[in-house]
Homo-oligomer: A and B are copies of this chain.
Amino acid sequence: MTHKIAILGASGYTGAELIRLIAGHPNMEITALSGERKAGMAMGDVFPHLRHMDLPNLCRIDEIDFSTVDLCFCALPHKTSQEVIRDLPKGLKIVDLSADFRLRDPEEYAKWYGNTHVALEQQHEAVYGLTEFYREDIRNARLVAGTGCNAATGQFALRPLIAAGVIDLDDIVLDLKCAVSGAGRSLKENLLHAELSEGYNAYAIGGTHRHLGEFDQEFSALAGRPVQVQFTPHLIPANRGILVTVYVRGAAKAIHETFLAAYANEPFVQVLPFGEAPSTHHVRGSNFVHVGVAADRLEGRAVVIAALDNLTKGSSGQALQNANLMLGEDEVTGLMMAPLFP
């Protein structure tokens, strides 16, 4: 059986990545692609790397007949996403890639995103889309909220440890390095090749990055008490990849064993041998996560490192993984491609 798929916001990077992945999925067929500003254009003109594919032209959302759609990926900007999803058919399965349905508390949403949420019903209904930890909820969900790419990476490095109680919850530092596609296709001077390549910097310093809302929500829920981490993202001159280096207090060996147990049956999470460091080189273009642990020379401290591809596992790959569950497919279908190296 072939599932009919619509993608809203198909002219951005996560939209293009969804198309790339679905191209390799045996049981999905793309029947509608929206892009308001580029409506009418052929996808091969918007993304020439897709010119070999037989795809519908971009259209406006109001031109789509959702009655024939089995599942809709929504890759729109936050705020727009909630306005659109609020008005979509109530029975339509949706995987949203924006930030709009990640935070369960509307006040937290307003605090981090600066606008009042206008689709509270859907927000209430949405399931948080970190597949490995919400698998059963996602299987039965109508609306799944894809996680932030940074938030996903940090959670792969910390959730099993918080759940197992093997680290100090009051002293967690996440130093994250993100490639530039995480910033999307926005036209900003600092994203130009001439200004970005050959250098790097921290941004959103001091705990102001929006993905902290997700960390606070998820880690606190997991711990059953408030947990707040220190988090600094950095922009790195590469196109794909997130690497997070997490400084924790705890026994490194116990941490490693906790990961081995927690991820033993996960098809996409690779726990490296103790003391080995993951690299974004080795997950590029794939849905894999690599997690590594080392003991620090300072007694009682450990370093946890996680790496994934922000556009794949951090966003569109995760979305497809969730869609598979929602549609009754095997979770890994279309997602087992090996990373591209070099």
A interface residues (Cβ-Cβ under 8 A, vs B): 13, 16, 19-20, 23-24, 47-53, 171, 173, 175, 177, 180-181, 183, 185, 187-189, 191-203, 205-208, 212, 228, 230, 232, 234, 236-241, 243, 245, 247, 252, 270, 272, 275, 277-286, 288, 290, 292, 294-298, 301, 303, 305, 307, 311, 336-342
Residue in contact with A297 in the complex, picked from B202, B208, B305, CB distance below 8 Å: B208
Residues of B within 8 A of A13 (CB): 194, 342
Residue in contact with A305 in the complex, picked from B197, B205, B228, B295, CB distance below 8 Å: B205
For the complex, give the distance between the alpha carbons of A279 and B337 in Å.
24
B50 touches A199 (CB 8 A): no
A199 touches B294 (CB 8 A): no
* A288 and chain B: residue at smallest CB distance: B52
Residues of B within 8 A of A290 (CB): 48, 51
Chain B proximity of A242: nearest CB distance (Å): 10
For the complex, give the distance between the alpha carbons of A141 and B215 in Å.
52
Residues of B within 8 A of A301 (CB): 230
Residue in contact with A237 in the complex, picked from B51, B52, B191, B238, CB distance below 8 Å: B238
Q: A202-B245, A240-B198 are in contact. Are A285 and B282 (CB under 8 A)?
A: no
B230 touches A234 (CB 8 A): no
Residues of B within 8 A of A196 (CB): 193
Q: A191-B192, A194-B13, A279-B199 are in contact. Are A206 and B53 (CB under 8 A)?
A: no
* A252 and chain B: residue at smallest CB distance: B206
For the complex, give the distance between the alpha carbons of A171 and B300 in Å.
12
For the complex, give the distance between the alpha carbons of A175 and B245 in Å.
8
Chain B proximity of A271: nearest CB distance (Å): 10
For the complex, give the distance between the alpha carbons of A307 and B201 in Å.
9
Chain B proximity of A109: nearest CB distance (Å): 17
A342 touches B245 (CB 8 A): no
For the complex, give the distance between the alpha carbons of A247 and B195 in Å.
27
Q: A194-B191, A301-B230 are in contact. Are A205 and B277 (CB under 8 A)?
A: yes
For the complex, give the distance between the alpha carbons of A305 and B50 in Å.
19
B339 touches A337 (CB 8 A): no
B201 touches A192 (CB 8 A): no
Q: A49-B341, A173-B173 are in contact. Are A234 and B238 (CB under 8 A)?
A: no
Q: A282-B49, A298-B230 are in contact. Are A247 and B194 (CB under 8 A)?
A: no
A194 touches B206 (CB 8 A): no
A294 touches B193 (CB 8 A): no
A188 touches B189 (CB 8 A): no
B336 touches A241 (CB 8 A): no
For the complex, give the distance between the alpha carbons of A296 and B288 in Å.
32
Residues of B within 8 A of A252 (CB): 206
Residue in contact with A340 in the complex, picked from B197, B303, B340, CB distance below 8 Å: B340
Residue in contact with A205 in the complex, picked from B181, B303, B336, CB distance below 8 Å: B303
A202 touches B338 (CB 8 A): no
Chain B proximity of A215: nearest CB distance (Å): 11
Residues of B within 8 A of A282 (CB): 48-49, 51, 199
Residues of B within 8 A of A305 (CB): 202, 205
